[in-house]
Structure 1
């Protein structure tokens, strides 16, 4: 069987200094070029057409899209932050000076934030991870639980014919059909649940860490999620408020 199509291709461009919303400060980031290339049996031979660039924080591992034009260059290897600042984003401190001042208030005197500042900081925590959520839900994803469910289901199905012949030989065909139907439903359920597992493991903990200093109330969180939903962000519907509150 010929397996072909398109797949994402990741190519490292280097390392830079940049501001991380989740860490609330300047940190080292790895920059990757994300392309879409033709594959044959999952092997690609080019870097593909550019989709976007992403940066990954060295400390919290948050992944976000980035505009590489703001960097003066890329450092080929991980390096101390002062080296990255000098070689990749020398004016970063000036660019984010206002934001750094705001983050100091968030960490040390959150009660002094204006209503507008507080709302902006809360929204930023969600918006920083929204592209990651959008990319996850743009195609079917098989997480480890789903893969293990498929493998174990196939193994169990191998024993169904022999078991059916032993316990009900006259209904072997019906039992096999029923078993296949149950397995198919089980796998579909795991595929459906994989999105929730992704949110619980990869998104909610980072959002919770970012907004915890502000101790947001239920009404604030509900307003943010409803606003995101109105603006067609999947984060608004896929993130469950109860699960977020449980981690605050």
Structure 2
């Protein structure tokens, strides 16, 4: 009797849906976004069957790289071409955006000119906005068991390459059968050490993501508000009380230091 083993299941996939103009709270202005369609599809041996069931649409800012959930009905249309001219993209995809965000855009101009006047509650909301915007990405990054980044990917590929190179070189240096155990030992040692280093890099990945991406983005977004250190600590304390990773992992001193060096993102 022949038995056929099918490896089937479901996995989340994404594909480009097009381009739109929208407001980015991190860039504090209207920018170009790339819309991605996320769906869950059945796969056989890792190959997806069809587009699958729609989960959501995510728009990724082309300037800062951060994303937000969007509804396609929000836009006049989703452009199929990557229009570089922002005004043309606005006219094609979201022609009323300057009216929709008129009050916010006026506040941003005043912030850049140090002329904005806010109530304490309004200022608190503006300070919290960048944190709240980045919460989904930070939570997702820490919830994933394994996610390779540049450093861990290089470590993994380097381990494989160095192990193969060690085996080839040692086999050339000691071709006689009595030395085969020594060749295997050397190759195994390189593989074990490299695997351990790769594992360490994987564990350090979320922290690198915070230092290289989240904290600099927070600092650039907060720069026009010129927050005090006490205000930053209050924001992070509120997020810690809510048991959110962005509140427990981002340290006030790190953010304060980044804020002193930051330049606001210009859209």
Q: Tell me which interval the TM-score lies in, with the shorter structure as reference length.
A: 0.7 to 0.9
The number of residues matched between the two structures is: 242
CA distance in 2: counterparts of 1:148 and 1:2, whole angstroms: 32
Which consecutive residues of structure 2, in runs of 5 or more, have no partner in the other structure? 171-177, 260-267
Picking from 57, 65, 72, the partner of 1:68 is: 72
Give the Cα–Cα distance (whole angstroms) in 1 for the partners of residues 118 and 110 of structure 2.
Answer: 7
> Corresponding residue for 2:104?
99
TM-score (structure 2 length as normaliser): 0.75
Structure 2 counterpart SS, 1:16: strand
Task: Provide the rounded CA distance (Å) in 2 between the counterparts of 1:3 and 1:154.
Answer: 26
Seen in structure 2, the aligned counterparts of structure 1 residues 151 and 73 have a Cα distance that, compared at 3 Å, is closer
Separation in structure 2 between the aligned mates of residue 91 and residue 224 of structure 1, nearest angstrom: 33
User: Are positions 1:225 and 2:236 aligned together?
Assistant: yes
Pair 1:29 & 2:33 matched: yes
CA distance in 2, matches of 1:118, 1:176: 60
8 Å CA contact 2:72, 2:78 repeated in 1? no
Q: CA deviation at 1:83?
A: 3.1
Task: Answer with 205-214 or 105-114: which moved more.
Answer: 105-114
Deviations 1:79-112 (A, max 9, x none): 3333333332232222212211221222112563
After TM superposition, give the deviation of residue 146 of structure 1 in Å: 1.5
Once the two structures are overlaid, the 10-residue window that deviates more, 26-35 or 143-152, is: 143-152
The Cα RMSD (Å) is 3.3
Cα pair 2:156 2:195 within 8 Å, conserved: no
Partners of 2:209 and 2:69 in 1: CA distance: 19
**Range that drifts further, 94-103 or 6-15:** 6-15
- Counterpart Cα distance in 2 of 1:13 and 1:147: 28
TM-superposed CA distance for 1:197, in Å, is: 1.0
Q: What is the DSSP-based 3-state SS (H/G/I as helix, E as strand, rest coil) of the residue aligned with 1:17?
A: strand
SS at structure 1 position matched to 2:204: helix
- Paired residues for 1:100-139 under 5 Å: 100-109=105-114, 112-139=117-144
SS class of match (1:189): helix
1:193 shift after superposition: 0.4
Larger radius of gyration: 2
Answer yes or no: is 1:194 the counterpart of 2:205.
Answer: yes
Is this contact kept in 1: 2:26–2:220, CA < 8 A? yes
CA distance in 2, matches of 1:187, 1:87: 46
Structure 1 unmatched runs, 5+? none
Q: Tell me how far apart the structure 2 counterparts of residues 184 and 81 of structure 1 sit (CA, whole Å).
A: 46
